[in-house]
Amino acid sequence: MSLEYSLFPGCVPSAREFSCETSARKVFEALDVELRDVRDFSCCMPACLVHSFDYVTGLALTSRNFCVADEFDRDILTLCVSCYGNLWRAKKLMSDNGDLRRKVDELLATVGKSYQGVASVKHSITALYEDIGLEKLKSVVSKPLKGIRAAPFYGCHLIRPKEYLFFDDPEFPEKLDELISVTGATSALHRERTGCCIGCGSFFGEVAEEAALHLSVDILDSALEAKADCVIVTCPYCFLQIEMGQLLFKRRTGESYNMPILHYTDLLGLSLGIEPKELGMNLHKIDPTPLLERIK
């Protein structure tokens, strides 16, 4: 029987970065993994948005997603490392703080829910590495991406904080590197592989754009120093930030990085022989055509 997950696509793939969900769905389909849609899921972020909600209400809204997931007896699979981190944070708070859990359950009871926390949380990367495994992935790669140097960018909430995210070492991770190697590409070691793409800034809503631009350019410079052909991300928000950073840098300076940014599922999908358009790569703002021509 094939693996099944309740898909938690997250706000960014659903509203802005459509290629992330397109790519993930195509790759998991090729691996005979079912991603089941759950219409009743809601945003995972309110527990962090303390200026919009009181803390208990925010945590209740986040925890409600576990109540929904438990109804289907399937683990949650996220595409975004922020969703992954937020859901795990809620799970830890509900497990460790009895008084907080009691208050949250009182709120959940008003909508006919009760937190049980049976469902676990997977990210597309953790599912590929832990549930499917490197050997299985190696066995289905039909077009190894020999000669391609790919710079991994882990994303903060895939590996930190270590108190409740246990996928890999927070300072010296290696599992995304291993997943890159499975495709036949070479993982390019670079100084910003565990860095941050956003810090206190974002290109959405003009929040500290200078900080966001600085971080994006630093990631791109780091990848170029490692002679990378592309940057591999695990998060749609990281994808958008580093792509938008290139576009803003070109607008300000006239200089172009032209560094393709790929979701890991893009890289894996190409090695499985899936056409770039089927992965949604035609939606990328930084044209991946030169990289794709090399792969062909």
DSSP 8-class letter at 288: -
In a domain, 163, yes or no: yes
H/E segment holding residue 4: strand 4-8
Strand partners, 233: 153, 263
d(Cα 133, Cα 131) in Å, to the nearest integer? 6
Cβ(153)–Cβ(233) under 8 Å? yes
- Show pLDDT as tens, one digit a residue, over the chain (296 residues): 579 999 999 988 888 899 999 999 999 999 999 999 999 999 887 545 444 568 898 899 999 999 999 999 999 999 999 999 999 999 999 999 999 999 999 999 999 999 999 999 999 999 999 999 999 999 999 999 999 999 999 999 999 999 999 999 999 999 999 999 999 999 999 999 999 887 554 555 455 688 888 899 999 999 999 999 999 999 999 999 999 999 999 999 999 999 999 999 999 999 999 999 999 999 999 999 999 999 98
Cβ(286)–Cβ(259) under 8 Å? yes
d(Cα 51, Cα 74) in Å, to the nearest integer? 32
Q: Do 41 and 73 fall into the same domain?
A: yes
- Count of domains forming the chain: 2
Q: Do 156 and 251 fall into the same domain?
A: yes
Q: Do 154 and 15 fall into the same domain?
A: no
Q: Do 164 and 237 fall into the same domain?
A: yes
Strands (E), the chain: 4-8, 34-37, 76-78, 121-123, 149-153, 186-187, 230-233, 261-263
In a domain, 18, yes or no: yes
Q: Do 166 and 240 fall into the same domain?
A: yes
Taken in order 195, 201, 206, 209, the sign of the CA dihedral is negative
Cβ(202)–Cβ(186) under 8 Å? no
In a domain, 14, yes or no: yes
Q: Do 291 and 161 fall into the same domain?
A: yes
pTM: 0.94
d(Cα 243, Cα 225) in Å, to the nearest integer? 18
Q: Do 164 and 30 fall into the same domain?
A: no
Q: What is the DSSP string of 25-58?
A: HHHHHHTT-EEEE-TT---S-TTT-TTTS-HHHH
pLDDT tens-digit readout, 47-80: 454 445 688 988 999 999 999 999 999 999 999 9
Q: Do 11 and 89 fall into the same domain?
A: yes
Domain span holding position 229: 142-295
pLDDT tens-digit readout, 163-198: 999 999 999 999 999 999 999 999 999 999 999 887
Cβ-proximal residues to 133 (8 Å cutoff; 6+ apart), any chain: none
Helices 98-109 + 55-70 axis angle, to 10:
70
Q: Do 95 and 192 fall into the same domain?
A: no
- Phi/psi of residue 70, each to 5°? -65, -25
Q: What is the model's pLDDT at position 60?
A: 93
Strand order in the sheet with 261-263: 186-187, 149-153, 230-233, 261-263
CB atoms within 10 A of CB 253: 9
CATH code, domain with 247: 3.40.50.11810
CATH code, domain with 30: 1.20.1050.140
In a domain, 164, yes or no: yes
